[in-house]
Chain A
Amino acid sequence: MNVQPRTANIAAGNRRLAWQLAAGALLMTGFGYLLVPLYQVFCEYTGFNGTTSRINHGQAATQGIDRTRWVTVEFAANTSVDLPWEFSPVVASVRVHPGEMVLAQYQARNLGNRAIVGQAVPSVTPGTAAAHFRKIECFCFSRQPLDPGQALTLPVQFQVDTDLPREIGTLTLSYTFFEQRGGRISSARPRLTKL
């Protein structure tokens, strides 16, 4: 009430600038959200953060097999704290040639007394190897329902790229099972689901 802009011009200019700045703030809120897809694309593209990629059979067949080289693939299994499942790899590790198609198996059993739907989330370490690790089939591509006491064998078919950097001799493929409550989660943002 007590400000007396020297001219009405200034008051109008003030309002205009204020709105422009507010629009800037709004844009930055949008940018905050934009970071989410950017991050996902970035991770998928570079394999940063252990994000693995998915290919189909046709693409897989086009790769030759590098028989001069051995790579050890270790399997790790975890469950989130509130998931009463037993979950483990059938074998702890395998030795493979780059380019070779490999089938590995995990097993899971529901120790709880209710039916539970689980979703496995994969990751590969070291992070730089992730971009060279390709899954053709995986139990992590879909949700896994288990009745009380039920056990299940879970296959994963993969291929290590022939262009895996030379210095990497061992990779670890790790899965963590989470409970999928009401199926709401992946249906909320299917596009961003990492596979």
Chain B
Amino acid sequence: MTELALPHPHDHTHPSGITRWLFTTNHKDIGTLYLLFSVSMLFIGGSFAMVVRAELFQPGLQFVSPHFFNQMATMHALVMIFGAVMPAFVGLANWMIPLMIGAPDMALPRLNNWSFWLLPFAFTLLLATLFMPGGAPSGGWTMYPPLVLQMGMAFPFLIFAVHLMGLSSVMGAINVITTVFNMRAPGMTYGKLPLFVWTWVITAFLLIAAMPVLAGAVTMLLTDKFFGTSFFNAAGGGDPVMFQHVFWFFGHPEVYIMILPAFGIVSQIVPTFARKPLFGYTSMIYAVASIAFLSFIVWAHHMFTVGMPLAGELFFMYSTVLIAVPTGVKVFNWVATMWRGSMTFETPMLWALCFIILFSIGGFSGLMLGLAPVDFQYQDTYFVVAHFHYVLVTGAVFAIIAGVYFWLPKWTGRMYDERLGKLHFWLSTISVNVLFFPQHFLGLAGMPRRIPDYAVQFSGWNMVSSLGAFAFGASQLIFLYIVVRAISGHGAKASAQVWEGAQGLEWTLSSPPPYHSFNEPPKVP
């Protein structure tokens, strides 16, 4: 399909320049804004990680003070979680959901504009703390009191930044649900929704349920600090451990917020390059839904060592390990989709395959951590760091990159350079394992997380890990180059279909799609 022949009353009011981006309510523009924001946060957060790994290259204090080190570790996490990964998924949702369900736009376009433009404000507040007396937040992204309450000027900035990010993602979630419930093209039944859409709907419900709890928790911190309440202040009858309960009640669903849309992306890519429909479509949806449900009753696996009674340890251990079942169903279905498929290995497929393997490694270390008796050894060591980087970097981030390669030709109308894409893939995959795999060994040997210096017996693997980190960081510059080239109109022209095996409404539109698409509902096959 080319430019829709039907005249549209608003087509001519299409402002250009800065106001186009400031006031845009077009889902494609907003998707682009989210993705650009995300990639800039990826590089800012990445540079913080480089500082961390440079300092840990050798034992002893080399480059930065311990206080600055702690700021870098904390800010790295906050920027990556709330600035890079979550906005990337919202950006993909904005671009792809209306195209996939045959809607002309998101259901609430002006809300959509707002939810994006809150983010630059939030991150200005957050990043400005780096230049404040007392420095940026440094007590860990988990913001545990009483440590977090000892922060300097940065404290209220951190809290308001978290409020804004939370508001932004809840607004985004409302928009996604409303769009999918009300804006589907006739014939696009729930049983036909692409998995990316399904996973996003479930994620959106998680966001609506979890983010407000975080907002509540940080507001309690704020009133404890400035208004004399004592939710977490033992002197006033409060309890700092309670913060951990409230935080992780948000925190564990949050980690699934960052992985369910990734499952969706991979479920789009694998069938495309295996040239077979997704195996077990319905079971995939049930698996995602049960993961989402379970994610609300496992939170205390982050707190096995706070002194819970045996019954609590057991409950949270069993519920945690139970999550492995639906997760296993998903991995099984992806593998079964590839079984006897006629597979080709273009760049998006490589990233998706690597996601499946490396995410599973992260899932396995998660299972180990989920066993209460052994978690007493692993808690707060580098083993935990290795675990969540396997699920978040080689999980969430790899899926996002896979999605970008998959849809970039659709968005820009240009094919990226396949050779460069593969180079980016191989460099990243090798270096990311050099970076994170040794952290398992460090953790098992007892190296604590969040420290700027360490005992000399940890030197070897730390050096290896840092070298991997520098290589991984540098490899992402290739990604930047590839994306910039496609945006600036270099590369072969992409067809509407783009990928031979691609299925779905989004591939019926030209590449790039017209600014306004599906003003007339498409015919759903």
Contacts and interface: CB of A to CB of B under 8 A. Distances in A.
Contacts of A127: 307-309
A194 B245 contact: no
Contact of A35 (B8, B208, B249): B249
A6 B521 contact: yes
A128 interface: yes
A128 B310 CA distance: 9
23 contacts: A1-B25, A2-B25, A2-B109, A2-B516, A3-B106, A5-B107, A5-B183, A10-B183, A17-B107, A21-B208, A24-B208, A29-B215, A31-B212, A31-B216, A32-B246, A32-B249, A39-B242, A128-B310, A178-B233, A178-B235, A180-B235, A189-B229, A189-B231
Contact of B104 (A3, A33, A178): A3
B96 to A, nearest CB: 17
B174 interface: yes
Contacts of B235: 80, 119, 121, 178-180, 185
A31 to B, nearest CB: 7
Contacts of A5: 104, 107, 183
Given A3-B106, A127-B307, A49 B239 contact: yes
A168 interface: no
A17 B182 contact: yes
Chain A, interface size: which category?
35 or more
B323 to A, nearest CB: 21
A3 B178 contact: no
A190 B309 CA distance: 27
A45 B226 CA distance: 31
Interface string B101-130: 000111111010000000000000000000
Interface in A153-175: none
A195 to B, nearest CB: 8
A117 to B, nearest CB: 10
A47 to B, nearest CB: 8
A4 B104 contact: yes
A189 B209 contact: no
Contacts of A18: 107-108, 111, 174-175, 178
A192 interface: yes
Chain B interface: which size bin? Answer: 35 or more
A140 to B, nearest CB: 10
Nearest to A120: B235
Interface in B55-113: 104-109, 111
Nearest to A178: B235
Contacts of B238: 189, 192
B108 A14 contact: yes
Contacts of B245: 35, 39
Nearest to B312: A48
B388 to A, nearest CB: 23
Given A48-B312, A186-B237, 9 more contacts: A5-B183, A10-B107, A25-B212, A29-B215, A32-B214, A36-B242, A49-B239, A121-B237, A127-B308
Contacts of B26: 2
A14 B237 contact: no
B335 interface: no
A57 to B, nearest CB: 24
Contacts of B104: 3-5
A53 B387 CA distance: 40
A13 B182 contact: yes
Contacts of A26: 212
Nearest to A35: B246
A49 B241 contact: yes
Interface of B: 8-11, 13-14, 25-26, 104-109, 111, 170, 173-175, 177-178, 181-183, 208-217, 220, 228-231, 233-239, 241-242, 245-246, 249-250, 306-310, 312, 515-516, 519, 521
Which of B107, B177, B312, B516 has the largest number of chain A CB atoms within 10 A? B107
A188 B170 CA distance: 31
Nearest to A186: B236
B521 to A, nearest CB: 7
Given A80-B235, A119-B235, A29 B25 contact: no
Contacts, number: 160
Given A21-B208, A29-B216, A4 B8 contact: yes
A48 B308 contact: yes
By DSSP majority rule, is chain A's interface helix, strand, loop, or mixed?
helix
Interface of A: 1-6, 10, 13-15, 17-18, 21-22, 24-26, 28-29, 31-33, 35-36, 39-40, 43, 46, 48-50, 80, 119, 121, 125, 127-128, 176, 178-180, 182, 184-186, 188-190, 192-194
Contacts of A25: 170, 174, 208, 211-212
Given A48-B309, A185-B233, A194 B183 contact: no
B234 A31 contact: no
Contacts of B107: 3, 5, 10, 14, 17-18
B49 to A, nearest CB: 30
B217 A193 contact: no
A29 B239 CA distance: 20
A189 B234 contact: no
A87 B427 CA distance: 60
Contacts of B521: 6
Contacts of A184: 228
Given A176-B234, A179-B235, A184-B228, A28 B241 contact: no
B171 to A, nearest CB: 9
Contacts of B14: 2
B232 to A, nearest CB: 10
A80 B106 CA distance: 54
A125 to B, nearest CB: 7
B237 A194 contact: yes
Contacts of B183: 5, 10, 14
Contact of B174 (A13, A22, A43, A190): A22
A2 B215 CA distance: 33
Contacts of A182: 228
Given A29-B213, A185-B230, A17 B181 contact: yes
Nearest to A143: B235
B182 A193 contact: no
Nearest to A21: B174
B203 to A, nearest CB: 14
A32 B231 contact: no
